[in-house]
Structure 1
């Protein structure tokens, strides 16, 4: 099944805006009616696309502490509704889903039901120690399920994902090569230590030299002021959450004015900077 709005991974300076959902039904912090959550999804998707973001990514940010892998049916149902609302609010833009902490199977199911264009997978290959314990990638399962469902759905995968520690002996280079060449990810995401924390431009430069043809996305900490250096280091796109939300706080909902300022800053970077 082809998405009506495929994610343009061949585009330089791809901007993906985050929708951080409040706690969904079943999560310990859940306290908002589902209708109110969906109203915020509609607002955030419209604000991001009106500001000029190329795509929108929905995730169950408020569901801490996260299930390590398979989430329960109520989470899948709520995320499916949220993604459907985002798609309706941004009809000409790719919309993706990230099922935290690492449920790629449910993400693909949601994409099959809604027509979402891409998914994000925190641990696609290898293993990482996290606050949920040891997470192990299931690339073999994810790619086969995508084929079985006949989905034209891109897989954006993190290398040495944030809020996690790699096993002893693991290196960034080896992890990135495995992710791209053996895990067959459609894009590689590099991040800082945690949500909203800056991504080191030297890590981007290192991965750009290692993977010259890979779409390389910054997954955390991009700000209006750091966008130029991140693109200059070789990033082909930015996934932006915290900075474009109210007060610059993750999970607070998109601030339309901050979102517009961010896009203006990125579009003003000269074409000689980065991989253009």
Structure 2
């Protein structure tokens, strides 16, 4: 395996945004009935997450639309958050980059940056993504073999990971679905295939019980369902669940 300094740019940018080891990036799914309730819940959940010590909150149109994302960003940013703001506009990464220029967004999450397109469509996608990245201050957290994403490239997993590392600042790995634990074997496989030192984030299924195992080979975690009162994406962020997870992550950090 190559020396960690082979990828100083990705690693340095990651550490510049997240100086604390093993950061927790928490989802704002924009649940609620109607625009006003979605904004109110986003503000309340962002406050609970920040008070609980998470390292970032990700505004995502999981239960909303692009207008809900804008309203949530306006509200959360107006609250002068102490956490990093991330953004995932599902099915519209062009809008995500545009909003990242308008608001103080530290990173954009893209569910797939390699492997999801037919070869005939991949070159155009890669060129456009490179153009958007070159003009954006936001980091890109990119999925490869991500939950619910098709695999159409005709390349091996390792080949798609190599391209993913070229197209992003960190790779996100998940299992098969939202809230489902990511197989440790997959995390370790991704770690082995990626350039040494390249940031790897577990994007689904992290809990207080498995945090040590899930984060052993990863540099951070995106967490949504576990932080909810029902442990499901449809729930509401619960301060006690946030505390439990952050206590478990604190133990992981201390053991490094």
> Where on the TM-score scale, by shorter chain, does this alignment land: which range?
0.7 to 0.9
Q: Does 1:110 align with 2:99?
A: yes
1:18 pairs with 2:27: yes
The answer to whether the Cα contact below 8 Å between 1:224 and 1:261 also exists between their aligned partners in 2 is yes
Residue 95 of structure 2 corresponds to residue 86 of structure 1: no
Whether the aligned pair in 1 keeps the contact of 2:116 and 2:150 (CA below 8 Å) is: no
Question: How far 1:12 moved relative to its partner?
Answer: 2.4
How is 1:235-254 mapped onto 2 (pairs within 5 angstroms)? 235-254=218-237
Stretches of structure 2 lacking an aligned partner (at least 5 in a row): 1-14
Shift of 1:11: 4.3
Report 1:46-195 matches (<5 A): 46-63=47-64, 75-89=65-79, 91-100=81-90, 102-127=91-116, 138-148=125-135, 151-167=136-152, 169-181=154-166, 183=167, 185-195=168-178
Per the alignment, do residues 11 and 214 of structure 1 end up closer, same or farther by CA in structure 2, a change over 3 Å counting?
A: farther
The number of equivalent residue pairs is 238
Change (3 A) 1:113 1:270: closer
* 1:189-219 deviation per Cα after TM superposition (whole angstroms, max 9, x unaligned): 0001011111011111122222221110000
Query: TM-score normalised to the size of structure 1?
Result: 0.79
2 CA distance for matches of 1:86 and 1:157? 23
Cα pair distance change 1:169/1:157, threshold 3 Å: same
Which structure's residues are more often helix, by fraction? 2
The answer to whether the Cα contact below 8 Å between 1:7 and 1:118 also exists between their aligned partners in 2 is: no
Q: Which 5+ residue runs of structure 1 have no aligned equivalent?
A: 1-5, 24-31, 64-74, 130-134
